[in-house]
């Protein structure tokens, strides 16, 4: 046999992960860090095992059996091994429970676990995120009966009592625009609310509960008339007959995740609060799942980069390892710098969430969290895809070969930009957040992060924020221009915030003799912060072959 190329090896995701180590050292008291490390080490072990298992086994996907041999409707879903292990593993290591402990670091400690577990989970993290979001929305609702009933299950540390929750919003007409929801809530003769309708993307259909948007019968049109309901899906060991699984989705990626189309045919339901303003009531859930999305996108980038970096030391071409080829090394370092910015922003959101929920946040931090959540979600969602594409290219033709496990990284990464609101929906959400406070909270935070920071970074970040402020000064009457530029604005703000966070990290590391973070900052700044777009409406109309007027309505 001729030459055989050595395959890439995955380094231990926790023991070799210097960014997370540095973050926890900076942000957590030593005693808390010590208590956390055993869980992180175990989740890192699991991630390594899952990678090795995947390399020696045939890939499985979930299978739906709708009818048994005798004609009974069963809607049974067989899950992959990682999904079967999910409840045991995540309750044992308190993945969700840790995020709801009563201290300001709870969310950081939760998301450190999520970061290490996510890729190995085969997107079991998706229903976990929704369960976390449901727990948060229930707490916000103050509905004591539902809190008492569901929270002990959602936050259980015992797999036998643990429940997963779904989030049933998306319908065929009301996708991003949930105001078009057609599912109806009707009270039966006993006063019990029941849901009737069709939900088009149900990612946690194997769960025991869900939060669902529905229109109380007789309520008006639009999103304000929607209500938010809690439902349970099981009757003992049987799925309730009023919940029918129509089929599993045939998706580009996340194929281990059994996303389903479902029918609700009178499923019992309980309103969380008032029988209106369901979008407002579900917003705490959305903001939590968007934070998960950002952390998981960053974890996905970390995996792609770790494999590409390892391979660069094993693969020789033109007489030397790839890592010694200047252009290849440059490519990897560029990816690393962008990843470090995204990591810093996503984990800042995690820390802010913990402080705001615990009540220990500074006065500007609630508004800051409201803005940084969509920014982190939308930027990391796009970046994960770009980094995975680049990482596959680092393997040449092998990156295109299915059983290396690499193409799956790229296919799966596409989901982060779509889930929980597309890039454009999230850019408009950032405008919603900015409408309250403008750039005030962000400027206050950036000034604090940049204290004692590198002068070049201060200059570049201030210039980017000033340019963003000019765009925000668009007269309110010209809403079309503001919206057309919303993505460029959001990306500029995300990059500026990330640069300031990298500067903070660089200053902290410098005092410990570590020059790495400063290199990440320099490289990140070199890629530029400004992403404001040319939004000339006449040009847009010409390029799209439509009248200018139709763009302004
Ligand atoms: C591994 C990682 C896992 C991650 C989880 C993966 C799960 C994947 C499954 C899914 O993807 S489920 C589908 C997710 N769908 C979405 O995220 C919907 C995307 N669409 C939007 O976000 C729209 O912008 C929105 C539905 C919110 C528009 O609804 P409306 O009702 O037309 O918006 P409106 O009228 O501006 O807002 C209604 C209220 O909600 C307002 O409050 P008030 O009534 O007090 O004025 C808003 O301020 C409030 N609101 C909206 N978004 C908010 C928010 N409040 C706080 N935070 C937000 N993000």
**Best substitution site from 82, 116, 283 to test ligand 1's pocket, by max atoms within 8 Å of Cβ?**
283
Query: Residue with the nearest Cα to atom 36 of ligand 1?
Result: 432
Residue position matching structure tokens 């899952």? 50
Q: How far is the CA of 477 from the centre of ligand 1 (A)?
A: 24
**Helix (H), strand (E) at residue 15:** none
- What pLDDT band is residue 409 in, cutting at 50, 70 and 90? very high
One-character DSSP codes across 49-112: HHHHHHHTS-----EEEEE-TTS-EEEEEE--HHHHHHHHHHHHTTHHHHHTSSSTTHHHHHHH
Q: How remote is the CA of residue 499 from the centroid of ligand 1, in Å?
A: 27
Cβ neighbours of residue 236 under 8 Å, at least 6 residues apart? none
Q: Ligand 1 centre from 286 Cα, in Å?
A: 6
Average pLDDT of the residues in 460-487: 93
Ligand 1 binding pocket includes 263 (Cβ within 6 Å): no
Residue 185 and residue 177: Cα distance in Å, rounded?
Answer: 19
Torsion of CA 274, 276, 279, 281, to 10 degrees: -10
C-alpha gyration radius of the chain: 24
Alpha helices in 196-325 (DSSP H): 278-314
- Give the distance (Å) from ligand 1 centre to CA of residue 421: 8
Q: Whose CA is nearest to atom 54 of ligand 1?
A: 283
Q: What is the 3 state secondary structure string of 453-470?
A: CCHHHHHHHHHHHHHHHH
| Whether pLDDT at 32 is above 60 | yes
CB 253 less than 6 A from any atom of ligand 1 = no
Q: Which residue's CA lies nearest to atom 6 of ligand 1?
A: 126
Task: Tell me the CA–centroid distance for residue 521 and ligand 1, in Å.
Answer: 33
Structure tokens at 254: 């996340």
Contact 466, 532 (CB under 8 A): no
For residue 14, count other CB atoms closer than 10 A to its CB: 21
Name the phi and psi angles at 243, rounded to 5. Answer: -115, 115
Mean pLDDT for the stretch of residues 135-153: 98
At residue 78 the predicted structure's pLDDT band, cuts being 50, 70 and 90, is: very high
Residue 126 CB less than 6 A away from ligand 1? yes
CA 198 to ligand 1 center in whole angstroms: 19
Query: How remote is the CA of residue 283 from the centroid of ligand 1, in Å?
Result: 5
Query: How many percent of the chain have pLDDT more than 90?
Result: 90
Instruction: Say yes or no to pLDDT of 407 above 70.
Output: yes
State how far Cα 12 lies from the chain centre.
23
Atom of ligand 1 nearest to the CA of 295: 2
pLDDT classification of 14: cutoffs 50, 70, 90? very high
Average pLDDT over residues 415-444: 96
- pLDDT over 70 at 553, yes or no: no
Tokens 């996905």, located at residue: 300
CA of 439 to the centre of ligand 1 (A): 21
> Residue-wise over 57-82: b if at least 16 C-beta within 10 A, else e?
eeeeebebeeeeeeeeeebebebbeb
- Report pLDDT digits (tens) over 178-199: 888 999 999 999 999 999 999 9
Q: Could you give the angle at the alpha carbon of 548 between the alpha carbons of 546 and 551, nearest 5°? A: 85
Residue nearest to atom 21 of ligand 1 (CA): 176
Give pLDDT, residue 552.
57
Q: Is the CB of 279 under 6 A from ligand 1?
A: yes
Mean pLDDT throughout 163-180? 88
289 lines ligand 1 (CB under 6 A): yes
Question: Measuring CA to CA, how many Å separate 340 from each of 306, 310, 337, 489?
Answer: 13, 18, 5, 21
Residue 487 pLDDT exceeds 70: yes
Q: What is the pLDDT of residues 493-544, one digit of tens each?
A: 999 999 999 999 999 999 999 999 999 999 999 999 999 998 999 999 999 9
Residue 171 CB less than 6 A away from ligand 1: no
If one residue of 125, 279, 352 were mutated to test the ligand 1 pocket, choosing by the most ligand atoms within 8 A of its CB, it would be 279
- From the CA of 177, how far away is ligand 1's center (Å)? 9
Residue 269 near residue 146 (C-beta atoms within 8 A): no
Taking the centre of ligand 1 as the mean of its atom positions, its distance from the CA of residue 290, in whole angstroms, is: 10
Averaged pLDDT, 31-47? 97
Determine the pLDDT at residue 23.
Answer: 97
**Residue 172: what pLDDT?**
84
- Average pLDDT, whole number, for the chain? 95
CA atoms within 13 A on the CB side of 505: 31
Instruction: Kindly state if the Cβ of 178 falls inside 6 Å of ligand 1.
Output: yes
Which band of pLDDT confidence, cut at 50, 70 and 90, is reported for residue 551? low
Q: Mean pLDDT across the stretch 279-307? A: 98
Residues in the chain, how many?
Answer: 553
Q: What is the pLDDT at residue 436?
A: 87
pTM given for the model: 0.97
Kindly report the number of other CB atoms within 10 A of residue 466's CB atom: 10
pLDDT digits (tens, 9 = 90+) for 371-403: 999 999 999 999 999 999 999 999 999 999 999
Measure 285 CA to ligand 1 centroid, in angstroms: 9
Q: Is the CB of 179 under 6 A from ligand 1?
A: yes
CB of 256 closer than 8 Å to CB of 411: no
Name which of 165-174, 270-279, 324-333, 513-522 the model is least confident about.
Answer: 165-174
**Mean pLDDT, to the nearest integer, of 72-97?**
96
Residue 288 beta carbon below 6 angstroms from any ligand 1 atom? no
Query: Does residue 444 contact residue 370 with C-beta atoms inside 8 Å?
Result: no
Residue nearest to atom 56 of ligand 1 (CA): 283
pLDDT bin (cut points 50, 70, 90) of residue 454 is: confident
Cα distance from N-terminal residue to C-terminal residue, the chain: 67
Instruction: At 313, list the tokens.
Output: 């030391």
């Amino acid at each position: 046999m001729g030459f055989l190329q050595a395959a890439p090896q995955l380094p231990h995701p926790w023991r070799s992960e210097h960014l997370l180590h540095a973050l926890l050292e900076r942000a957590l008291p030593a005693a808390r860090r010590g208590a956390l490390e055993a869980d992180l080490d175990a989740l890192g072990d699991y991630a390594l095992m899952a990678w090795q298992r995947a390399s020696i086994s045939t890939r499985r996907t979930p299978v739906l059996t709708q009818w048994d041999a005798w004609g009974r409707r069963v809607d049974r879903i067989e899950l992959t091994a990682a999904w079967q292990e999910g409840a045991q593993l995540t309750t044992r290591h308190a993945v969700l429970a840790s995020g709801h402990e009563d201290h300001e670091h709870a969310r950081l400690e939760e998301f450190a676990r999520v970061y290490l577990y996510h890729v190995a989970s085969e997107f079991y993290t998706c229903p976990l995120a929704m369960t976390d979001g449901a727990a948060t929305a229930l707490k916000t609702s103050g509905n004591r009966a539902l809190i008492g009933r569901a929270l002990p299950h959602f936050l259980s540390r015992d797999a036998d009592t643990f429940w997963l929750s779904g989030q049933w919003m998306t319908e065929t007409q009301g996708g991003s625009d949930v105001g078009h929801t057609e599912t109806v809530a009707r009270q039966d003769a006993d006063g019990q609310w029941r849901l009737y309708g069709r939900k088009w993307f149900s990612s946690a259909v194997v769960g025991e509960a869900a939060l669902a948007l529905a229109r109380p019968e007789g309520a008006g049109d639009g999103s304000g008339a929607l209500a938010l309901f809690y439902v349970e899906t099981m009757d003992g060991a049987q799925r309730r007959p009023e919940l029918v699984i129509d089929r599993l989705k045939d998706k580009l990626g996340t194929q281990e995740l059994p996303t389903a189309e479902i029918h609700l045919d009178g499923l019992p339901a309980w309103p969380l609060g008032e029988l209106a303003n369901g979008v407002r009531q579900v917003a705490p859930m959305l903001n939590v799942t968007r934070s998960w999305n950002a952390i998981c996108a960053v974890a996905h980038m970390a995996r792609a980069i770790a494999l590409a970096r390892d391979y660069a030391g094993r693969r020789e071409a033109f007489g030397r390892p790839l890592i010694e080829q200047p252009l290849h090394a440059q490519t990897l370092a560029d990816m690393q710098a962008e990843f470090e910015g995204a990591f810093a922003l996503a984990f800042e959101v995690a820390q802010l969430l913990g402080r705001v929920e615990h009540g220990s946040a500074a006065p500007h931090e609630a508004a800051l969290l409201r803005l940084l959540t969509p920014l982190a979600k939308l930027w990391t969602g796009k970046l994960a895809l770009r980094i995975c594409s680049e990482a596959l290219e680092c393997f040449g033709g092998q990156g295109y070969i299915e059983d290396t496990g690499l193409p799956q990284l790229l296919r799966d990464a596409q989901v982060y930009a779509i889930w929980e609101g597309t890039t454009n929906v999230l850019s408009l959400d950032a405008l919603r957040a900015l409408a309250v406070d403008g750039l005030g909270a962000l400027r206050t935070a950036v000034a604090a992060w940049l204290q004692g920071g590198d002068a070049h970074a201060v200059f570049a970040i201030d210039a980017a924020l000033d340019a963003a402020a000019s765009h925000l000064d668009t007269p309110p009457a010209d809403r079309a221009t503001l919206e057309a530029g919303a993505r460029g604005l959001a990306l500029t703000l995300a990059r500026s915030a990330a640069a300031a966070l990298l500067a903070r990290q660089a200053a902290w590391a410098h005092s410990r003799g570590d020059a790495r973070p400063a290199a990440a900052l320099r490289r990140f700044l070199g890629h530029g912060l400004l992403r404001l777009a040319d939004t000339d409406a006449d040009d847009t109309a010409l390029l799209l072959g439509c009248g200018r007027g139709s763009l302004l309505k």
